[in-house]
């Protein structure tokens, strides 16, 4: 019997070992995986007969009771595991709470919950995709907190509407609504949520960028380009278009938001006039200004109550995030907690503005207008009047006579109730913070995208977006690594081994 059990075990283990090493079910593996368990079962049957060795009612009673105990516990373990398999409760102990759904996702899920079943999207998760293991936890989060159907399946089982995508892309997650499916690129939470958002958006806000005056380059993928900004707006389900200012006399009628981002040259008077008229008629505009911007846009904004003194804001507290940090790179965490754009941002959230000019909400053009500052510097900041000198490191420094100890506002928003509708304007004293290099840094995207959503009166979508993992690299120097290695790989085992020899010596007596 012992030989049979041992032989069975050896065969089973050989079969498994051949499978694990080759990842193939070969004839050898099959033969062993069949014969091994059979031999074990046979040995088990023989052993069961030996149970008759438990003579007498008392012994049999104990045998029965203990077998029942093990059986009941085994059954309880199986049942608890079956019940727990549907239990998605978990504790996310990652530093960035990577697997805890972000505020934006929860908001999107809440909105989906209000939709009728037929209009709710679903997620297809391909468990045989290359990075499926990394994504499984994230999908579990959606399963637990989002009223959508999540289906875990193999690529071969994909429904017909998803197959064209699979034949074109290597993808792990596909979002579908009826027969309309979208591949989620890298299955980060942001991308999955945006795919759901796009599928469920009832309307598509149209965002126009003013072009033709040296504004930011939306097609450039370089660090200083702004292709990421256009992409982020599209990801939020917006329709992004450009208008070549000089060629048009009027802002298009379908424009929900007009973005004027860091024009280097003056706008034509006609353009200024048409923007002004459009705003008067209830238009919405986001102005991203650089410290050097001195175009007539500043004058236009002045008429709408914004005071934009020239210069660049500097701060003694240099940002530790930038390798080449200067006093001009501002790491900010002071927000207006009352305004819808910044309500969700607290002192725990930071934005990084590489160089910014102050934006004062100075006056109300009409009594019912409301202007509010959104973002502030620390009290240690001051205004450098000459941006070029400040950039080259020859700034004047804090003005001893200037108003120090007062936070300077760097962004402001205004609401202007007018006869034909409410105009809205947001002015941010920096454009570079939304460049490809910095758009996805900290809470920069939230400041920008929430501004656009507020302007588009899509306030339900205002949220804090999921963040990627914080990069953490190169923690130790070679010398430190070696020192720890010597201690743990040599000194500690050596000490343990000496203790072992001592124990052995004592045991020998």
Contact by Cβ (8 Å): 288, 430: yes
Q: Kindly state the helix (H) or strand (E) to which residue 128 belongs, with its residue range.
A: none
**Token pair belonging to 341:** 């754009």
In the complex, least distance from residue 140 CB atom to another protein, rounded to whole angstroms? 8
Residues 97-136 that bind another protein (CB under 8 A): 98-99, 133-134, 136
As beta bridge partners, residue 209 has 242, 259
If the CB atoms of residues 25 and 110 are measured against another protein, the closer one turns out to be 25
In the complex, least distance from residue 8 CB atom to another protein, rounded to whole angstroms? 10
If the CB atoms of residues 419 and 474 are measured against another protein, the closer one turns out to be 474
Among 27, 56, 116, 479, binds another protein (CB under 8 A): 56
The burial class, CB within 10 Å (0-12 / 13-18 / 19+), for 364 is middle
**Token pair belonging to 388:** 């070029």
Query: What is the DSSP-derived secondary structure letter of residue 160?
Result: G
Q: Give the interface segment with another protein, choosing from 47-55, 104-112, 308-316, 401-409 (CB under 8 A).
A: 47-55
If the CB atoms of residues 361 and 442 are measured against another protein, the closer one turns out to be 442
Gap between the Cα atoms of 108 and 458, Å rounded: 12
Q: Decide: is 59 part of the binding site for another protein (CB under 8 A).
A: yes
Residue found by looking up tokens 């007539």 in the block: 296
If the CB atoms of residues 45 and 277 are measured against another protein, the closer one turns out to be 45
Gap between the Cα atoms of 37 and 20, Å rounded: 17
Q: Give the interface segment with another protein, choosing from 58-66, 262-270, 290-298, 413-421 (CB under 8 A).
A: 58-66
Among 21, 48, 179, 507, binds another protein (CB under 8 A): 507
If the CB atoms of residues 65 and 394 are measured against another protein, the closer one turns out to be 65
In the complex, least distance from residue 108 CB atom to another protein, rounded to whole angstroms? 22
Q: Decide: is 63 part of the binding site for another protein (CB under 8 A).
A: yes
Q: For 419-486, where are the E strands, in sequence order?
A: 421-428
If the CB atoms of residues 320 and 367 are measured against another protein, the closer one turns out to be 320
Q: Decide: is 1 part of the binding site for another protein (CB under 8 A).
A: no
Quick one: which of 224, 207, 242 has its CA closest to 290?
224
In the complex, least distance from residue 292 CB atom to another protein, rounded to whole angstroms? 20
Say which residues have a Cβ less than 8 Å from residue 147's Cβ, sequence separation at least 6: 109, 112, 113, 120
In the complex, least distance from residue 223 CB atom to another protein, rounded to whole angstroms? 6
Among 54, 151, 310, 318, binds another protein (CB under 8 A): 54
In the complex, least distance from residue 169 CB atom to another protein, rounded to whole angstroms? 18
If the CB atoms of residues 59 and 392 are measured against another protein, the closer one turns out to be 59
Residues 186-225 that bind another protein (CB under 8 A): 223
Residues 64-103 that bind another protein (CB under 8 A): 65-67, 69-70, 73-74, 76-78, 80-82, 84-85, 87-95, 98-99
Q: Decide: is 19 part of the binding site for another protein (CB under 8 A).
A: yes
Residues 440-499 that bind another protein (CB under 8 A): 441, 468-476, 478, 481, 484-485, 488-489, 492-493, 496-497, 499
Residue found by looking up tokens 């037929």 in the block: 118
Phi, psi (deg, nearest 5) at residue 507: -65, -35
Q: Decide: is 406 part of the binding site for another protein (CB under 8 A).
A: no
Q: Decide: is 62 part of the binding site for another protein (CB under 8 A).
A: yes
3-state secondary structure (DSSP) of residue 410: strand
Gap between the Cα atoms of 339 and 461, Å rounded: 15
In the complex, least distance from residue 224 CB atom to another protein, rounded to whole angstroms? 10
**Token pair belonging to 313:** 């804001």
If the CB atoms of residues 219 and 507 are measured against another protein, the closer one turns out to be 507
Gap between the Cα atoms of 332 and 69, Å rounded: 63
| CB-facing half-sphere around the CA of 154: CA atoms within 13 A | 3
Gap between the Cα atoms of 268 and 281, Å rounded: 20
If the CB atoms of residues 84 and 277 are measured against another protein, the closer one turns out to be 84
Cα Rg, the chain, nearest whole Å: 33
Q: Kindly state the helix (H) or strand (E) to which residue 183 belongs, with its residue range.
A: strand 180-184
If the CB atoms of residues 16 and 106 are measured against another protein, the closer one turns out to be 16
In the complex, least distance from residue 32 CB atom to another protein, rounded to whole angstroms? 11
Q: Decide: is 46 part of the binding site for another protein (CB under 8 A).
A: no
Among 21, 52, 167, 479, binds another protein (CB under 8 A): 52
Q: Is 48 left (phi over 0), alpha (psi -120 to 50) or beta?
A: alpha
The burial class, CB within 10 Å (0-12 / 13-18 / 19+), for 455 is buried
Residues 285-344 that bind another protein (CB under 8 A): 321-324
End-to-end CA distance of the chain: 39
Helix 269-280 × helix 296-303 angle, to 10°: 20
- The site string for another protein over 132-171 (x = CB under 8 A, - otherwise) reads -xx-xx--x-------------------------------
Q: Site for another protein (CB under 8 A): how many residues?
A: 85
Quick one: which of 341, 342, 337, 315 has its CA closest to 328?
315
Residues 221-280 that bind another protein (CB under 8 A): 223
Among 1, 13, 244, 406, binds another protein (CB under 8 A): 13
Other CB atoms within a 10 A radius of the CB of residue 28 amount to: 14
In the complex, least distance from residue 425 CB atom to another protein, rounded to whole angstroms? 31
As beta bridge partners, residue 372 has 413
Residues 342-361 that bind another protein (CB under 8 A): none
């Amino acid at each position: 019997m012992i030989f049979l059990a041992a032989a069975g075990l050896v065969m089973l283990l050989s079969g498994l070992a051949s499978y694990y090493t080759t990842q193939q079910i070969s004839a050898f593996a099959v033969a062993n995986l069949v014969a091994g368990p059979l031999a074990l079962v046979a040995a088990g049957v023989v052993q069961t007969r030996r149970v008759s060795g438990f003579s007498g009612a008392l012994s049999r009673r104990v045998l029965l009771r203990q077998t029942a105990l093990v059986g009941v516990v085994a059954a309880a373990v199986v049942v608890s595991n079956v019940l727990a398999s549907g239990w998605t409760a978990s504790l996310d102990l990652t530093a960035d709470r990577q697997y805890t759904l972000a505020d934006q996702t929860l908001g999107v899920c809440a909105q989906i919950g209000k939709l009728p079943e037929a209009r709710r999207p679903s997620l297809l998760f391909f468990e045989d995709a290359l990075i499926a293991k990394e994504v499984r936890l994230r999908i579990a989060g959606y399963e637990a907190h989002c009223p959508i159907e999540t289906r875990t399946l193999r690529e071969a089982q994909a429904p017909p509407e998803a197959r064209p995508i699979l034949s074109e892309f290597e993808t792990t997650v596909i979002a579908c609504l009826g027969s309309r499916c979208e591949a989620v690129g890298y299955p980060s939470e942001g991308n999955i949520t945006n795919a759901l958002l796009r599928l469920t958006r009832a309307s598509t806000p149209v965002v126009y960028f003013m072009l033709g005056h040296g504004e930011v380059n939306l097609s450039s993928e370089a660090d200083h380009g702004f292709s990421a900004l256009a992409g982020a707006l599209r990801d939020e389900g917006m329709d992004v278009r450009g208008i070549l200012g000089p060629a048009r006399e009027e802002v298009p009628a379908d424009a929900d938001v007009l973005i004027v981002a860091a024009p280097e040259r003056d706008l034509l008077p006609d353009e200024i006039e048409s923007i002004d008229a459009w705003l008067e008629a209830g238009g919405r505009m986001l102005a991203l200004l650089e410290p050097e911007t001195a175009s007539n846009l500043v004058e236009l904004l002045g008429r709408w109550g914004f005071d934009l003194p020239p210069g660049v804001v500097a701060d003694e507290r240099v940002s530790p995030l930038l390798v080449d940090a200067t006093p001009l790179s501002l790491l900010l965490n002071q927000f207006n907690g009352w305004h819808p754009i910044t309500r969700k941002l607290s002192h725990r959230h930071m934005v990084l503005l590489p160089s910014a000019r102050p934006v004062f909400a100075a006056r109300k053009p009409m009594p019912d207008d409301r202007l509010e500052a959104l973002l502030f510097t620390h009290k240690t900041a001051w205004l450098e009047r000459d941006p070029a000198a400040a950039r080259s490191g020859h700034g004047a420094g804090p003005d001893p006579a200037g108003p120090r100890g007062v936070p300077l506002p760097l962004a402001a928003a205004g609401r202007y109730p007018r006869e034909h509708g409410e105009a809205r304007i947001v002015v941010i004293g920096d454009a570079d913070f939304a460049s490809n290099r910095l758009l996805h840094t900290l809470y920069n995207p939230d400041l920008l995208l929430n501004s656009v959503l507020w302007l588009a009166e899509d306030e339900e979508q205002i949220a804090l977006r999921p963040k990627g993992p914080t990069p953490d690299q190169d923690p130790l120097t070679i010398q430190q690594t070696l020192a720890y290695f010597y201690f743990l790989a040599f000194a500690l085992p050596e000490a343990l081994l000496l203790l072992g020899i001592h124990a052995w010596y004592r045991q020998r007596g």
